[in-house]
Amino acid sequence: ADLRHWLPPIADGTRQSAALSKAAADASGLIAGTPVVLAYVDVACTALGAGLFDRQRKPGCSIIGSTGMHMRLAETPDEVLLNEAKTGYTMTMPAPGVFAQMQSNMAATLNIDWVLGLASGILAAQGISRSNGEMIALVDGWISSSKPASLIYQPYVSEAGERGPFVDANARAGFVGISSRHGYADMVRAVFEGLAFASRDCYAAMGSLPREIRLTGGAARSPALRKILGAAVGAATRTSEREEAGAAGAAMIAAVCVGLYRSMDDCVAEWVTPLLGKAEPSDPQLAAIYDRMAPSYTLAHEALRPVWRSMAAAKAN
């Protein structure tokens, strides 16, 4: 049966708009006739504002927020490279024939919140209160005092499991390789490295690793995270001076729609490119360490899948 009549028509925000009605204008205080533009989904808008739409450099783009989104630009459907499990997403970008291929970690900064929460919880039990911001300020010190890749952390702390680059609702977080010499600083570093290896895992599922990654999201402000992620992927990292990449992307769609720019390429040239920070090159020594450890990270989550399945079955019974 043809059920399309149950769905609203598809509107392309770069080409279609509607005028604000008088009733809506009176209720909102805006001017009647103001163009109302439907932006794309939040992930596509954030990718646009953060710098994914760069036909020359073809950078990767990662959103490191509560979840982790890792994207590459595809200018034709044939450039979308599926992994064996055929996981991930492909979304249209607000430009004709251009797509964003994506792999997504279910949990990104949730892992950081968890490991910092362990310490703040212990302090709270002693009557010492520390805000999340105060705990985050200590991270760089902990990371600099610990050795890279001395532990493996699987960052599947979400109770929903994992969705990229593999799908497993039973996946759970954990450390591999703890010994009596490891301390809290080592665990903090391992959590950051786990997020970086998860990013590498996602990019590898979409083809070759990018040479440059445009970073956005709350954790992109962390110099430690940028250095670790850049080394794990072997890519230079760049951030934007603009804080709200998603809002910028939505505004860019409107700007093209109402004719302020002839194309999205022209809009990006003024709205995005000038605000990109200087590329931070990947640390070659750290990258070499992570290159040696990356296969172990992948082997760990492959080996643990039957364990997760068995644990889930035991809890269900």
Q: What is the pLDDT of residues 120-132, one digit of tens each?
A: 999 999 899 888 8
**pLDDT bracket for residue 237 (50, 70, 90):** very high
How far is residue 71 from each of residues 28, 82, 97, 163, 167, measured CA to CA in Å? 36, 13, 16, 14, 17
Residue 34 belongs to some domain of the structure: no
1 pLDDT above the threshold of 80: no
Q: Do residues 23 and 227 lie in contact, with contact meaning Cβ atoms separated by under 8 Å? A: no
Segment 190-211 shows an average pLDDT of 95
pLDDT at residue 316 above 90? no
Residue 93 lies in a domain: no
Q: What does pLDDT average to over the chain?
A: 93
Region of residue 275 (phi > 0: left; psi between -120 and 50: alpha; otherwise: beta): alpha
Could you give the CA distance from residue 46 to residue 277 in angstroms, rounded to a whole number? 17
Q: Which residues of 293-304 are buried (b: 16+ CB within 10 A; e: fewer)?
A: bbeebeebbeeb
Residue 297 lies in a domain: yes
Question: Does residue 164 belong to any structural domain of this protein?
Answer: yes
Q: Residue 247 contacts by C-beta under 8 Å, 6 or more apart in sequence?
A: 45, 49
Query: Does any domain span residue 306?
Result: yes
Q: Is residue 186 part of a domain?
A: yes
Domain count, the chain: 1
Percent above pLDDT 70 for the chain: 100
Distance CA 287, CA 145 (A): 18
Which pLDDT does position 248 carry in this prediction? Answer: 95
Is 154 domain-assigned? yes
Give the domain range for residue 149: 109-204+284-316
For residue range 12-27, what is the model confidence (pLDDT) as tens digits? 999 999 999 999 999 9
Instruction: State whether residue 143 is helix, strand or coil.
Output: helix
Does a structural domain hold residue 296? yes
Whether this prediction's pTM lies above 0.85 is answered by yes
Question: What does the block give as tokens for 186?
Answer: 């080592």
Check residue 44 and give its pLDDT: 93
Q: What is the pLDDT of residues 107-166, one digit of tens each?
A: 999 999 999 999 999 999 989 988 888 888 889 899 999 999 999 999 999 999 999 899
